[in-house]
Structure 1
């Protein structure tokens, strides 16, 4: 391939890549075709100055990603000043399986997490007694506090918080929390 050495070749290449605006072909292009990616979305509207207007619809101009009202209810558990370490934990998904599932396959269950019934959270708490534990379980959040440790855990699936059980195993210094999962679409998906 020949190299572009002459000035005329460079001008021809520049004209090819950047056509001049007064070109007839450019004038034939509709104005909508001149819109680029920066034009996506609604244009910024000025704030309303009339006091009678609803101010809830006016969005503040700030660089915040979300408003304070949009933050979830468990955000007050995230204490950045608290020096207590997070204990080691493990989340295990469980499912109840019978012989009709293993040998005959009658209930259409498979080994995937889609068919799991409950969630087991194992938390290792060395040097902790059962009387020191403070446990709060929400639908999607688990909060565990002890004098030595603090755990704020966002759960991977919603759970039935009232039906869960917890037991502290003194020999292993481990807390096991079993939470049945809240899956309202299981009757449709697994039918």
Structure 2
């Protein structure tokens, strides 16, 4: 069957061609003048993105007495500190990683440690706080967030690795006006790196 596509220019010609090429089952359902239905017309904004797998019987039902909008697991840790209206500026800071090495590591190579951050035990954060006294610093540590406040500066830092917030050390170097915070990292696979 040869079709001359150059001769098809009117809307009715296109609708007739679409009707010829469509499934015969759809012909019974078609309204006159509406044109053929296609699967593309059934798509909407909800069809964009990855296909969601629906599991039967495992749908979570919210209790009607609960007025919560989201679960506490969905809220990132430290978001309660984030204040976009605070006019204080963010201080300069640097993050370093520190290893504990001994002579057996340096000269004999007896452990599996290398120079990568995967083999580092501690995270050191150096925060520059010019014109600040030690008594003006408020520091709050959580497992993934460092929150520092002074009268002039504010720093809300989401840490690159989880840390042991109970056993951190902070030291203020008054000559350089730098707060040095040393935190022990608690990563998931540290038992492999430090075995």
Distance 1:40 1:158, change over 3 A: closer
The number of residue pairs the alignment matches comes to 160
1:187 aligns with 2:191: yes
Which portions of structure 1, spanning 4 or more consecutive aligned residues, are displaced by more than 4 angstroms?
A: 4-7
TM-score by length of 1: 0.68
How far apart, CA to CA, are the structure 2 residues paired with 1:149 and 1:178?
Answer: 20
- For residues 103 and 22 of structure 1, do their structure 2 counterparts lie closer, same or farther at Cα, with a shift above 3 Å needed? farther
1:115 aligned partner: 119
| Aligned residue number for residue 55 of structure 1 | 62
> What's 1:20 paired with?
22
Relative distance call for 1:179 and 1:22 in structure 2 (3 A) is same
In the alignment, does 2:79 pair up with 1:67?
no
Once residues 167 and 52 of structure 2 are traced to their aligned partners in structure 1, the CA distance between those partners, rounded to angstroms, is 47
Residue number in structure 1 paired with 2:167: 163
Flag structure 2 segments of 5+ consecutive residues without an equivalent: 9-13, 26-42, 56-60
User: Structure 2 CA distance, aligned partners of 1:175 and 1:85?
Assistant: 16
- Following the alignment from structure 1 to structure 2, what is the Cα–Cα distance between the partners of residues 154 and 109? 27
Task: Supply the RMSD in Å over aligned alpha carbons.
Answer: 3.6
**From 77, 88, 110, the counterpart of 1:84:** 88
Aligned partners of 2:151, 2:89: CA distance in 1, in Å? 10
Contact 2:167 2:183 in 1 (8 A): yes
Question: How far is the alpha carbon of 1:81 from its aligned partner?
Answer: 1.3
Judging changes above 3 Å, is the alpha-carbon distance between structure 1 residues 131 and 86 closer, same or farther for their aligned structure 2 residues?
A: same
Cα distance in 1 between the residues matched to 2:101 and 2:82: 37
Report the CA distance shift for 1:81/1:103 in structure 2 as closer, same or farther (over 3 A).
Answer: same
Other-structure match for 1:50: none
Which residue of structure 1 aligns with residue 180 of structure 2? 176
Which residue number in structure 1 is paired with residue 156 of structure 2? 152
1:130-183 superposed Cα distances (whole Å, 9 cap, x missing partner): 110011111111110000001111111111122211111111111000111113
